[in-house]
Amino acid sequence: MTAPVPIPRFDTISDYHRYWSVCVPVLSINPRFLHIALDLCNTCNLRCSFCYLSLPAFRGKAIFLTAESIHRHLQHLLPFTRRLCLSCGYEPLASPHFTEILSSLAPYHIPQLDLVTNATLLSEDKIEAIIKNGVQTLRFSLDAADKTTYESMRHGACFETVIANIKRLAVRKKELGSRTPSLAMIVVLMQSTLHQLKDLVDLAKELGVASITMQHLIPFPGLHMEAQVITEKDAAPYDALIGPLHEYAQKNRIFLSAPNPFHPNPPRLDGWLLPLRSRASRLCQAIVNAQMNPSQNMQDITYGIINHGLRLVRRAYCPAHPFCRNPFNYIIMTPEGRAKACPYLDDAWLKVFDSGMPLTSVFLGDEYQALRQIMMDGGPHPAPCLKCPDCQLLNTKKRI
């Protein structure tokens, strides 16, 4: 059996990207290749029935990152960042430094600056900061279309307040002549809300929402939500609902992403056309989108064409075994000073860093290096990888 070949270490992000995009083309050649998920604080103003933050064990002393601390940790990574998501578990609008942080991020011109929120704290000054500082997408949680059901799940929230806040954001966007942020709705699928999904599409249309993402409930131990999970035994009603729901959302010009049916229908004869239509649509959008910086627009198109041409090279160099790109381009950072490559990895793969430590040293450090070595060697994979609910462990020869 051939011994594993140690992968090289690097001192700078530019050298790292050059190797993993050219020498071993795991990554895109676009220098903005990083995806960062960042919690601005470790608290939330709600206690949702299905969220682990409802448990007393997860309520500690509140910690709030400042613009200065974020700059200290991320200043060498942000110029290489493609997507920055503000929130990976907590409520970003609960931070007293929210508007200051957004202002400090604006000079980096991050192509995809996303905000995930429950929208209950969306005040006038925060709306102004969101629109004026380059937030591309605001994703808000709304799991039910009526007040009673919504408030029974999201304890501490007011249904009317959330709806009014989203409408106020839409009005202010129009007043400022801005097309961003686009609005996206996040829906946790549960037994008690399946009958409201069509009503949620109607509500999304009323609010000016561009897309809806529906996801299955993953029950957390101790919350007793197992009965609300949609499982194989619910295949018949779920499968009968989800197909027409996609058509209804498309009719209302809303993009709907939902878990696949348990027993999907055979593919249609024109199914091979769908990927081509999708790629053509994205190319046209990149060309005509007036919100994009012209130079950035041309860069994205150029990198896209080159990456498309490198597909055969990627297939030759990338591993044939199960493989995940998260250790190569993904960072999760929490206010407590913790960083890792995936939310499902356990503490054995967690890196604790101090307040003066740049995250560059974490991303190029031992924990990330060990995960990359595992991915290139084909194992042995950490246990969380083998049961990842997001199915990120994939075969790159089939998927690139």
- Let me know: does 141 contact 122? Beta carbons within 8 Å: no
pLDDT at 396 over 50: no
pLDDT, tens only, 165-196: 999 999 999 999 988 899 999 999 988 888 88
Q: Give the pLDDT score at 116.
A: 93
Instruction: Quick: pLDDT tens for 86-121.
Output: 988 899 999 999 999 999 999 999 999 999 999 999
pTM of this prediction?
Answer: 0.80
The confidence score (pLDDT) of residue 320 equals: 56
**In 10 A of CB 179, how many CB atoms?**
12
What DSSP character marks residue 63?
A: -
Quick: pLDDT tens for 194-238: 888 999 999 999 999 999 999 888 888 888 888 888 888 888 888
From residue 315, alpha-carbon distances to 25, 37, 274, 288, 398 in Å are: 9, 29, 23, 32, 8
In whole angstroms, give the CA distance from residue 90 to residue 43. Answer: 6
Name all domains of the chain by residue range, CATH numbers in brackets: 30-265 (3.20.20.70)
**Structure tokens, 202:** 């109607």
- 8 A C-beta contact, residue 46 and residue 104: no
Consecutive H or E run containing 249: helix 235-251
Instruction: Return the sign of the alpha-carbon dihedral for residues 344, 326, 78, 9.
Output: positive
- Give the residue with greater pLDDT, 387 vs 189: 189
Q: What is the pLDDT of residue 291?
A: 46
What is the predicted pLDDT for the residue at 382? 80
